[in-house]
Structure 1
């Protein structure tokens, strides 16, 4: 027995030693990939020495004697800090994720191959203007210089993730950067999903008039009525299309595009000198994207021949996408331009290689594509294209739930261009000297469409940029639902002239802004969109902007951090009007007593979605259960697609607009339920859920415990043990409808977690440019062991900022390192 014990002790000791040695080795290799910021390195491909000064937040200030060398420097620092992120985005755009992730990403690769984004990016390279081509080539050379350095000096493969997912690092190419722009366009548009959902909902509802309740139009004149669904597909038995079919499960690992409600959003507003206390123009911008670790944004400053530029860049793209120069400030918000249309394509029953066109049958354009899969046999798919666009797989976006037998669905989308000059627009914008020049160079934007907010010393402006599809005024569905692709009037007729894109230049009131709200009211087909991203935040923004005669940098910051929900202030009096102060106090421990306690708290609440308060959680849970009770019996499993509260729907129901109160009656019950009945039941549902999830002490609830910002590592975020290292979790204020927007998940065990927010905030003051500030949601580094992985995240959570200065002496004085790239 003693001998056995000794051997077990020796074995245990050996295992512990081996584990320790393994840990030390892994840590050593991981630390080798941490970039060194203080060094001198000889690199080929530059025309003169480059100095990269890292300030105390690791923001690189790239000082170069030529634009080409400045772009080289930007490529180098992007690869220093975010090489894994860049390579992952490139693989996604190429449809090559399965080479390292196996079967988990085949669906994603299949979609990206069918969209053909990367070949279109390759075709677009030759259409860039000369200075952009030079920038793309120099940027690629900078990335490749860093890759060569990693390989030559054995720098831990450049990022820890490369040890876990072995893959070769092919040299960076100009087309890679353009492909990432196209990938961002996929992340920022949601009209495809809206068309599918609208069609499915129209099929499901017995009374199609109720479609305008659950998918309401933003108030305003000029909204056209939808056609009857049956008129879109004459001769097709609509019963052959699933009405109540549940949706396919979303890809949980590297999904190709965001779920509905989680595509692009943003805020931006600007004040002319006449509305500024300092007599200098002001600009605030906070683009909203899915929260990740690291964030998509990377702060950088470049010294170009036209002057210094500083702001937020996206690794892989050689441009400061949002920020300022010495003379110009620019911000971006999602325009919600209807840039996508779905088309039903009838397949020839006698020849499946043909589809119907206005002039008869025509053969699909086809091409084979091989998807290599880690630890599995490669698969070959056939890509099919029509005159309207690529044919989409039925397994994506619930396409199979709307496709009649004998048909397929194709996609028209402005980003599917092989002559995409959006990169030239982004590069030109950095070098523009004033608002008119910025608007002119922005005519090159194709996709994604954005509202571009601009300021210079004298002027403020907002211009919608990106191609607007030209549709026939007689389009059968007005582009709101899939329509027959063989009907000529449903097909696109090119794009509208740039001059028709809405513009607001030097308005009389001196203020422009956008919260993804409806910006213009024009009849179809010049309407821009029927679906907008906001009907609530804009109301609060208007109040804040008009509440002051003049504004300051600090008042603009207050606007970005404002947590008052106009939706809550509007809806609570409606849904609780028959519940407040009715009846005597109920006995302790009864559901009635719990309801009275919750209502007493909400009665004194001002709608502020503060993380330390219980009322936001009570309100949010109540509205969530209320909407589900209203729509579940009418929509069946399709109700699961409505994951977020639609305030206009709730308001229509409780104001009984056009008979919308009919949603309150449960179809399958004998009695007729009132809206007050449903509201009371929903509040009880919410309180039971809160008791089970957060405890029974209502006064002790904290919204921040539910509204946790989850900055998840794109690949390792769900991996046991590692997720505690690579993910960042923070309690946050705000909500779906506050200017400090924190879009909730809407589903899962944490439905109120903050998953889509302002990963970048910037406020620029042209009266005192060096007082301008910015922040990102995590940190500069993509390396989990770097102190700059999450150091900006706590500032972001607290609503703090860091300086945005072009004064190189300030950066040098607080430098944490200086990298000198010198000619060999």
Structure 2
């Protein structure tokens, strides 16, 4: 027995030592790819030395003899810190994820190939001006110089993920950057899904008048009545099964609830306490680790610029120079249309057009799949756009037999000059120059907010389709592709895009709200991203005669929900303070406790309070009870509360209170009944998930920001090292927007919000500030992987200075790049 024990001890010791050795080996291999920031490196492709000074937040300040050399330095810095992220963005746009991840990402690749983004990006390179092409070529050379260094010095293949997934990286090309622009447009699009959901909801509702309740028109003047979809496209079943979106974290296809958002506001000198213009911007995208944003400063021939970049793109997308500040918000321009294309009954390779049947434009595309046979797709295009599979956003549910669905979209062009326009804005010296530079911008459509030292302005940039006034569905529903009136008539002139320059009130802003009220076909959009945040913004802006940098920061971080303040008195009108005190332990008593808490609540979605969780769970349960019997499985698509719907129902606007009655039940339920039952549902869910001590609940426990690694975030053990989770305030309808997940066991996880925040003060430009949600590095072993995350969570910022001396004074390292063909 003693001998066995000794051998077991020896075996245990051996296994422990072996484990330590293996962990040390893995750490050593992974750490080889950590960049050395204090280094002198000889590279090819430079004309003169470049200096990359990294300040104490690891923000690179890049100095060179020419713009091309500066862009070279940015490419090198991006590749040092975000190599894996750039590879994944490029592979996604190319439809080549399955080469690395196998069949798990095959559906993503199938869809991306059908859009043919990369082919269009290659074509678009030739449409660019010489200056932009030179910048892209220099930027690509900088990335490739880092690749060459990794290969020559055996630097762990550039990123730990490269060791795990064996994802070789081809040299970077200018078209790769353009493909990322198109990929961002894809992630920020929502009109395709909106058309399908409107059509499916129209089919599912027995009362056509109720469509305007659940899919309400945004406040403003009335919109002409649309045909009911079943009449427009006969032969479609009224109910069809849901085909869920691919849940893979690398998928760029998101529900329209996550189709882009953002905040931006500006103050003229007359409304600024310091007498200088002010600008605040916080673009909203899906959270990830690392964040999509990367902070950088470029010293260009036109002057220094600093702000937020996206790795893979050589441009400051939101930021400032000494003379100009610029910010972007999603414009929600209706730049997509779904078409129902009729197949020739005698030849399914032909489809109907206004001139008769024509052959599809088609070609084969081969997808290589890791550990599986290659898959060959036949890509088909009509005159309207690419043919989509029926599984994409449930297109099959609204496509009659003998037809297919195609999509027209402004982004599907081989003459995309969006990146050139963005670079023109970055180089502009005043508002008028920036507005002129933005004319070539195509997609994704944005509201560009601008300030120089005297003027503020906002302009919708991006192509707006010219539609025929006789369009059958006004672009709100899928329409027949062979009807000439349904087809686009080209693109509206840039002058037709909404524009606001130097408003008399001295304040302008956008929270993705409706900005113009123009009749179709000059309407811009029927779908907007916000009806709620704008109300709080107006109150905050009008509450002060003059604003400061700090008041703009206060507005960015505001967590008061105007939705909660408006809806709670409505839905609880017959529940507050009614009835006798119920015995402890009963559902009635729990309901009274919840109502007592909500009665004294200000509507602040603070992470430390219980009321936001009770409110959010109640509204979620209420909407589900109201729509479930009418919509059936389609109710799953409405996984975020629509405040206008709840308000219409409880105010009984145009008979909307009909939603409160459950059709399948014998009694007639009132809206008060539904509110009470929904509150009980919410409390049961809270009890089962978080316990029955309501006063001890924390909204932040349910509303965790999920900065998850897209490839490793679901891997056991590793996920604890690569994911960044944070308790956060805010919610779906607060200016500090934390868009909730909406589905699954954690419906209130914060998954979409301001990964970048910037506030620019032109009375004292160096007092401007910015922050991102994680850190500069994408390497999990770097101290800069998450060093900005806690600052972001607490609502803190770091300085945005163009003072080179300040950057050098606290530099964490200076990388000097020298041309290989010149002596130092």
Alignment of 1:476-515 (within 5 A): 476-515=472-511
Question: In the alignment, does 2:339 pair up with 1:333?
Answer: no
Query: Residues of 1 paired with 2:150 and 2:14: CA distance?
Result: 34
Corresponding residue to 1:639 among 635, 638, 641: 635
Output one character per residue of 1:74-93: Cα deviation in whole Å (capped at 9) or x when no partner.
Answer: 10000000000000000000
Question: In the alignment, does 2:519 pair up with 1:527?
Answer: no
- Contact 2:242–2:394 (8 Å) recurs in 1: no
Q: How much does 1:3 deviate? A: 5.1
- Contact 1:104–1:253 (8 Å) recurs in 2: no
Query: Residues of 1 paired with 2:430 and 2:249: CA distance?
Result: 43
Query: Residues of 2 paired with 1:488 and 1:722: CA distance?
Result: 55
Paired position in structure 1 for 2:22:
22
- With structure 2 as the length reference, what TM-score do the two structures score? 0.99
- Contact 2:75–2:140 (8 Å) recurs in 1: yes
Q: How much does 1:4 deviate? A: 4.8
Paired position in structure 2 for 1:580:
576
Q: How much does 1:223 deviate? A: 2.2
Query: Residues of 1 paired with 2:32 and 2:345: CA distance?
Result: 61
Paired position in structure 2 for 1:600:
596
Shift in CA distance, 249/47, structure 1 to aligned 2, threshold 3 Å: closer
SS in 2 for 1:791: coil
Query: Residues of 2 paired with 1:2 and 1:595: CA distance?
Result: 64
Paired position in structure 2 for 1:302:
298
SS in 1 for 2:758: strand
Query: Residues of 2 paired with 1:738 and 1:207: CA distance?
Result: 33
Paired position in structure 2 for 1:279:
275
Query: Residues of 2 paired with 1:510 and 1:593: CA distance?
Result: 51
- Contact 2:240–2:397 (8 Å) recurs in 1: no
Paired position in structure 1 for 2:401:
405
Paired position in structure 1 for 2:391:
395
Corresponding residue to 1:446 among 442, 446, 471: 442
Alpha-carbon RMSD = 1.0
Paired position in structure 2 for 1:87:
87
Alignment of 1:801-820 (within 5 A): 801-820=797-816
- Contact 2:773–2:792 (8 Å) recurs in 1: yes
Paired position in structure 2 for 1:184:
184
Q: How much does 1:2 deviate? A: 5.2
Query: Residues of 1 paired with 2:311 and 2:235: CA distance?
Result: 49
- Contact 2:78–2:143 (8 Å) recurs in 1: yes
4+ runs of 1 displaced by more than 6 Å?
Answer: none
Q: How much does 1:611 deviate? A: 0.6
Query: Residues of 1 paired with 2:2 and 2:345: CA distance?
Result: 81
Q: How much does 1:251 deviate? A: 2.8
Q: How much does 1:24 deviate? A: 1.0
Q: How much does 1:9 deviate? A: 4.1
Corresponding residue to 2:681 among 678, 682, 685: 685
Paired position in structure 2 for 1:193:
193
SS in 1 for 2:256: coil
Output one character per residue of 1:515-570: Cα deviation in whole Å (capped at 9) or x when no partner.
Answer: 00000000011101001000000000000001111000000000000000000000
Mind listing any 5+ residue stretches in structure 1 that lack a counterpart? none
- Contact 2:607–2:727 (8 Å) recurs in 1: yes
Q: How much does 1:741 deviate? A: 0.3
Corresponding residue to 1:562 among 545, 558, 564: 558
Output one character per residue of 1:221-249: Cα deviation in whole Å (capped at 9) or x when no partner.
Answer: 1423221213322xx323xx351423335
Paired position in structure 1 for 2:97:
97
- Contact 2:295–2:776 (8 Å) recurs in 1: yes
Paired position in structure 2 for 1:51:
51
Question: In the alignment, does 2:549 pair up with 1:541?
Answer: no
SS in 2 for 1:524: coil
- Contact 1:222–1:523 (8 Å) recurs in 2: no
Query: Residues of 1 paired with 2:156 and 2:11: CA distance?
Result: 31
Question: In the alignment, does 2:35 pair up with 1:39?
Answer: no
- Contact 2:245–2:254 (8 Å) recurs in 1: no
- Contact 1:44–1:145 (8 Å) recurs in 2: yes
Paired position in structure 2 for 1:237:
235
- Contact 1:271–1:283 (8 Å) recurs in 2: yes
Query: Residues of 1 paired with 2:48 and 2:140: CA distance?
Result: 17
Aligned residues: 820
Shift in CA distance, 711/691, structure 1 to aligned 2, threshold 3 Å: same
Corresponding residue to 1:362 among 358, 370, 380: 358
Query: Residues of 2 paired with 1:4 and 1:362: CA distance?
Result: 82
Output one character per residue of 1:411-433: Cα deviation in whole Å (capped at 9) or x when no partner.
Answer: 00111000000010111111101
Corresponding residue to 2:611 among 609, 615, 634: 615
Question: In the alignment, does 2:734 pair up with 1:738?
Answer: yes
- Contact 1:347–1:407 (8 Å) recurs in 2: yes
Query: Residues of 1 paired with 2:195 and 2:387: CA distance?
Result: 16
Corresponding residue to 1:419 among 415, 429, 437: 415
Query: Residues of 1 paired with 2:729 and 2:649: CA distance?
Result: 28
Paired position in structure 2 for 1:61:
61
Paired position in structure 1 for 2:751:
755
SS in 2 for 1:746: coil
- Contact 1:222–1:521 (8 Å) recurs in 2: no
Output one character per residue of 1:743-777: Cα deviation in whole Å (capped at 9) or x when no partner.
Answer: 00001111111000100000000000000000000
Question: In the alignment, does 2:134 pair up with 1:134?
Answer: yes
SS in 2 for 1:513: strand
Query: Residues of 1 paired with 2:754 and 2:167: CA distance?
Result: 32
Query: Residues of 2 paired with 1:49 and 1:139: CA distance?
Result: 15
Query: Residues of 1 paired with 2:369 and 2:541: CA distance?
Result: 54
Paired position in structure 2 for 1:793:
789
Query: Residues of 2 paired with 1:799 and 1:19: CA distance?
Result: 41
SS in 1 for 2:673: helix
Alignment of 1:449-468 (within 5 A): 449-468=445-464
Query: Residues of 2 paired with 1:636 and 1:231: CA distance?
Result: 21
SS in 2 for 1:309: strand
Query: Residues of 2 paired with 1:253 and 1:318: CA distance?
Result: 25
Paired position in structure 1 for 2:702:
706
Question: In the alignment, does 2:286 pair up with 1:293?
Answer: no
SS in 2 for 1:397: helix
- Contact 1:111–1:256 (8 Å) recurs in 2: no
Query: Residues of 2 paired with 1:435 and 1:256: CA distance?
Result: 33
- Contact 1:364–1:384 (8 Å) recurs in 2: yes
Query: Residues of 2 paired with 1:467 and 1:237: CA distance?
Result: 34
SS in 1 for 2:449: strand
- Contact 1:187–1:263 (8 Å) recurs in 2: yes
- Contact 2:342–2:351 (8 Å) recurs in 1: yes
SS in 2 for 1:261: helix
Alignment of 1:214-253 (within 5 A): 214-233=214-233, 236-238=234-236, 241=237, 243-248=239-244, 250-253=246-249
Output one character per residue of 1:703-752: Cα deviation in whole Å (capped at 9) or x when no partner.
Answer: 11111101011111111101100000000000000000000000111111
Query: Residues of 2 paired with 1:274 and 1:301: CA distance?
Result: 30
- With structure 1 as the length reference, what TM-score do the two structures score? 0.99
Paired position in structure 2 for 1:768:
764
Alignment of 1:165-176 (within 5 A): 165-176=165-176
- Contact 2:189–2:256 (8 Å) recurs in 1: no
Paired position in structure 2 for 1:473:
469
Paired position in structure 1 for 2:320:
324
